[in-house]
Amino acid sequence: MSETSARVWTAALIVIGDEILSGRTQDANIAYLAKWLNVQGIRLKAARVVPDEMGAIAEAVNALKPPAHDYLFTTGGIGPTHDDITVDAIAAALGVPVVMHPEAEAALRAYYGDRITDARLRMARVPQGADLIPNPVSGAPGIRLGEIFIMAGVPKITQGMLAGLEGKLRGGRPVLSRSVGAWIGESAVAELLRDTERAFEDVQIGSYPFWREGRVGANFVVRSPDPRALAACAEALMTGLRAAGVEPVDGEI
């Protein structure tokens, strides 16, 4: 196994927006990015939600950027309005000026035509030295500055930008998962879950309880980049559940 595939590559995400913290908007980007990163062989290790404030954004960027994580993604705050300050905050955190990107300006002028305004041209502003992330949904591109990726907050646009990055980031082995369901409270099998996870290297077991049909159950999700370890761990978990008097389901309930 090569060193590149064996190492664990990590990423962090900063979700930016007062509307998220106020509850007016529900974030959908964390779950999507985590799954997308898994396919790239990268693990999302941290996610932070911050308001549209220069200091809060800059502090989060400095805490989570490389080398703390291999990659840093941000979503939100790159639109045309006065409170879209993500570019300014990240530039300040990195100690670089904000400049107009000629290709971004050209793309915006082509997209809006005679509807272009100074406000819309704000979306062509980038931290100096940045490259663009194509946006197949609307006219404003995302921004890449080294291993920092500055993307829109609208999920559909974010997903389009990520599609353009598919296969272009260095990563390790994709994280695979397999679910095992059982009609039992997770507290009753806590020791079994702990011992099973410890018995397999590079495997994690997540427990997700639920109440359905008038009874308690749980789905256990086994995750690993090693398909053989994943299968062996799932089988061991099902064997342990049967020994505890519960017939497991190979898959979610």
Domain ranges of the chain: 3-165, 176-250
Instruction: Tell me the residue type at 243.
Output: A
CATH superfamily of domain region 176-250: ACT domain (3.30.70.260)
> Residue 3: what pLDDT?
47
Residue with tokens 């955190």: 93
What's phi and psi for 104, nearest 5 deg? -65, -40
> Residue 213: what pLDDT?
86
Question: Do residues 74 and 13 make contact, with C-beta atoms less than 8 angstroms apart?
Answer: yes
Least confident interval from 20-24, 73-77, 171-175, 177-181: 171-175
Contacts of 167 (CB under 8 A, 6+ apart): 40
> Residue 4: what pLDDT?
47
35 phi-psi bin (left φ>0, alpha ψ -120 to 50, beta other): alpha
DSSP-assigned letter for residue 166: T
Judge whether residue 249 has pLDDT over 80. yes
Which has more confidence, 174 or 66? 66
- What tens digit of pLDDT does each residue of 130-140 get? 999 999 888 89
Contacts of 142 (CB under 8 A, 6+ apart): 78, 132, 133, 134, 135, 149, 150, 151, 152, 161
Question: Do residues 152 and 32 make contact, with C-beta atoms less than 8 angstroms apart?
Answer: no
**Distance from C-alpha of 72 to C-alpha of 145, rounded to nearest angstrom:** 10
> Residue 5: what pLDDT?
52
In whole angstroms, how far apart are CA 158 and each of 148, 161, 181? 14, 5, 32
Written as six digits, the tokens of 190 are: 């806590």
> Residue 201: what pLDDT?
86
> Residue 219: what pLDDT?
95
> Residue 125: what pLDDT?
97
- What tens digit of pLDDT does each residue of 71-123 get? 999 999 999 999 999 999 999 999 999 999 999 999 999 999 999 999 999 99
Judge whether residue 40 has pLDDT over 60. yes
Share of the chain above pLDDT 70, in %: 98
CATH superfamily of domain region 3-165: MoaB/Mog-like domain (3.40.980.10)
CA-nearest of 218, 212, 221 to 187 is 218
Judge whether residue 210 has pLDDT over 80. yes
**Distance from C-alpha of 71 to C-alpha of 45, rounded to nearest angstrom:** 10
Taking residues 200-225, report their average pLDDT. Answer: 92
- What tens digit of pLDDT does each residue of 124-160 get? 999 999 999 999 888 899 999 999 999 999 999 999 9
**Distance from C-alpha of 131 to C-alpha of 149, rounded to nearest angstrom:** 10
